[in-house]
Amino acid sequence: MSYGPLADHGIGSLDSADLIFRCAEDTGDIAAWREFVRRFQPKIEQFIRGTLRQEGSHEGQTPDLVQNTILRLVENDCIVLRRFSGSTDDEIHKYLAVISRSVVRDSLRRQRATKRSRVESSLDEAGVEAVDSKAALPEQHPDREILAREVASLGARVIRKESGEFTARDQLIFDLHFKQGLSTSEIAECSALGLSKSGVTDVLARLTNRLRTAAQAR
């Protein structure tokens, strides 16, 4: 859907929830996305810098991570934005905080894995047998990637079939935990979900049991 230039008048007066809905509906709505960046980029930068400090990492990475966070929101036809169901600024900020922290931690995990891989390569070149640290690495072996995709696909089918009115919520929790590596506490910080830490734990336990049952039935 394209709102067109006539609808751009007064876009700055849209409340935040309506702005997010408009951006999610049309990734090509330049005026809406320009307003989104103007309005929310300072908060996203704040969340990213805070997470980098918590992780003991350099804040010079902030600009790239801000861009990556925006890309995360846009990718797959704005699926992350479409899953937002809150309405207040506080709910929006907490939701963006969860996404921003996920992007930062994904980036740091990749950097650390790359550094460890380089160290191992250097040891191999020097003829030194490395300790079996590969077991602790997120090794991107082709078989493992295929298995991960199969699990994600099976999980999505199970959720669509059995979660009913909570399908979008359960899919988001599944993705944040199993794909992005967020803890139950971090996911519970997203107030738009309306769940406590124990509530998130219950959802994950139910999804895991359903996924296990579906896998065994194949």
**In the predicted model, what is the mean pLDDT of residues 114-138?**
45
Residue 22 · residue 14 · CB < 8 Å: yes
User: What percent of the chain stands above pLDDT 90?
Assistant: 14
pTM of the complete model: 0.54
Which own/partner pairs from 179-183 qualify as long-range (CB within 8 Å, at least 24 positions apart)? 179/152, 180/102, 180/105, 180/106, 181/102, 181/105, 181/106, 181/109, 182/98, 182/101, 182/102, 182/105
Q: What is the average per-residue pLDDT within 95-118? A: 80
Q: What is the mean pLDDT of residues 123-151?
A: 48
pLDDT of 147 above 60? no
For the chain, domains (ranges, CATH) are: 7-137 (1.10.1740.10), 140-212 (1.10.10)
- Mean per-residue pLDDT for 176-183? 80
38 pLDDT more than 70: yes
Q: How confident is the model at residue 120 (pLDDT cuts 50, 70, 90)?
A: very low
